[in-house]
Structure 1
Amino acid sequence: MAASMDSLKEKILKKLECLPDNAQQEVLDFVQFLEWRKENYQKSQLSVVSEELDEESDAGWLETDLSNLGSYEPYDWQPGELNKGLPIKYIPGMGVVIVEE
Structure 2
Amino acid sequence: IIFLGSFLIGTGEVIIYASSYAIASNLIPEEIRARLFGVYNTTFFLSWGLACTIISGPLIDFLIGEGFGEIFAYQTAFLVGALITLIGLIIFLALEIWIKLKNNIVKK
Q: Normalising by structure 2, what TM-score?
A: 0.29
Higher strand proportion, which one? 1
Q: Which has the larger radius of gyration?
A: 1
Higher helix proportion, which one? 2
Higher RCO (Cα < 8 Å, 6 or more apart): 2
